Structure 1
Amino acid sequence: MNLESLKNQKILLLGKTRAFSLDEFTSQLKQHNIELVDEVSEGVKFILEGRVLSPYEQNLMNELYEQYKYEFIELEPFEKALAQTIDDNVLLMSLKLSNDKARLKSFLQNGAISDGLFFKLLKNYKWQNEDFFENDDNRDVTAALIERFYENIERNHNVQFATTGLIHLISQTNNEELLEAISELEPIKLHPKIKVILATHPQTPKKVLKRFLKEGDAIVLDAIYANPSLDHQIAKTLIEDEEAAKKIAQNIVLDEELFVLLKDYSVELASNVSLSLEMQQKLLDLDDEAVDKNLAQNTSLDTQFLESLYKKSNELQQIILENPATPSTILEAAYNDSSNHLSLAKNSATPQEILSKLYDLGETEILSELAQNENTPVELLYQMQLDSRFERYVRTNAGFGKHIQTQNIGWL
């Protein structure tokens, strides 16, 4: 859409604007020397097809079509073209000088403006020390933020009017600029959970994490330490603190330098799923009981090391039999020893044939574990759901929940 070609022209608008209020729309057109008229008059060559036409406007539109004298323009691309020509700095200064909150809110609700301008405008919005949905203005601005960036919002009706919608938005996005913008919203001080989600998000910008660290909220700090994607430079500044170092050692995606720097926390390192084969070997070579226990639970431990630990002690054997990374050959062989049955019932990697055999044993403790096991055959879960001892476990079983959703049959 070339607005320059419409300079010094008259445009007839039929229907209503969408992205802009009528006053703002008219004002923006004036800046391009375009005159908006509301009736057919001399000099009108262009007809803008708005939304929500009245019966009179619809009839007029049809008549004008048939005359083949006018060029018809679609509203949405026209408004987008208009929005693209807005000078961000001029608009921001105008809003600052006028202190026109209604106009600011109107622009924030304008889906035609760029994301960059939206973020600049959002920084200038005053929340009045109230929550996201505590007053009408805050509600409208929060809804505009969620609606602009939420994926498939058309399938999630009214998600923009709930704090959970903002939480889901954070979880689904990889937009660093959006994450930073949300981190700066005043009302998140009332929602510690939002800060925690931001602190654990792999794409949260480094400067946001640094700000959170300075604020010193214990819950948020723990979330940062547990973030596998924590920036390594930030991590290096934190590991002088023992508690922080232990949590970082368990969770961060390791490289050789960090592995060496965290060598004093070998027990915690043994739980880290990003261990390379070389790192796993070094930890095994320590021959430390606590390290071996955590390695035995580590779902990324290499098969050869699992097998080595399996032969080491009965305690490690039971831990490994509960590890989903354990090869099926070990699990199948372990079934022959009844002392392994409870561990096998807990493991989601245990073959369904063995899980069925365990079910047939009818032992309450084993059945409790089977009711919670995502890999338990669904027909067995249906049976256990009828038993009050296991009903709650079945209902919260993720595997059973996925089956119900797939079949779309609801809970019995």
Structure 2
Amino acid sequence: MCSGIGVRYRFRDEFELKLTEKRVAPDEIESEASGAVYMNEDTLTDGASSDRTRNWNDDDADHDQPRSTGLRPALTWKNTDSWKRFLLRYFSDNIAPEMVLIDDSHNGWRHLILPLAWMDELVMKAVLAVSAFHLSGKTDGYAPCQGLANSSELYSEAIHELQNRKNLDQYDHQTKRRVILSIIVLLVAVMVTGCSDFPILFHLLQSALDTIGGEDELGPDELSEFALRQIHKMRVYAAPFISQQAGVYTILSQAPHSFDCLYYSSRFHPEKQCTIDLIASLRQQAYDIYLQRVMLNQTPGNELSSADVVRKFRASLESFPKGFPGDHSLVWASFIAASESYTPDNQQFFEQFLLRQYHRNGFGNILKGLELLKRIWARDVNWPALLPEPQVFIM
């Protein structure tokens, strides 16, 4: 769904990337920016509430427009097309909950990203593309807004907008940060579709961070802290699907930062600390499984070692009741443990777990992950070497 004609992007002269996209004729692209007012998003950090983006209705009453704390949106709720309002609400209800451990009023995918989308066309287009892709996947390509919102065209528009801002070092801090956040949202799009644009978007994110002088330059406010939590988590999860070298280096050097999202949730839910600790333990076990397989260069014939680590992981996972809150956050960890599984019983166990997650969230990357697992189980090879081949972001 992301394939098409290649377009080149760069944030620095020495770094050039190629993203696949579907060309859209200029007269087919709706100009949403006319009359838009782009305001300072610093207001987002002053106690922004998720009430701004939840419980939206279909009518055009003024009270349905997301509230803000002294912040004027670029596009008003009342004057926005109904299909856009539908997709924004869809993102709030169906995408945002899947991107956090615990869905609550502190979910930045809802109370930070969605208000930012009202201020910036790039973020808006990225959010709309994610929702349209997800909805299209759930309805076999048919969507209630079909004819007005084509998922591939929305994705293409977001890529075009990225191209318009390719000279990132010429922009102010807020624009740079919005570009980085939009790439993070587009990485969710390739999770939803299982699209092979993942490595390019991931490198594009790193290029943008390098251009602004590193992640420390994002700033200390809530919006930047949200971005950093997502970057730290995605960076570690993505690395093994880039290369074995990247996987080993990133896990060894960056893995502690990938727990930031868990620590953030525990601040607001101390009553769930035991569950959060067990989820953290499972993630760490998965890191260890990957490192052991790559660094020790073990062969699949070493059944005892493989059986031990998989048995420990499975026992920890089975200590949770089926469908426990937070199990959707273990897709990556379970995929790694499944890759190390060599008995039909363990393979079936992890396949069923991942299928449950797919039926819950409808993310196409899980199906692509299951296809990859079947290849791994069928071949007598060192499985970490196979992870980068499909160019899919499994998280």
Same fold (TM over 0.5): no
Q: Which has the larger radius of gyration?
A: 1
TM-score normalised by length of structure 1: 0.27
TM-score normalised by length of structure 2: 0.28
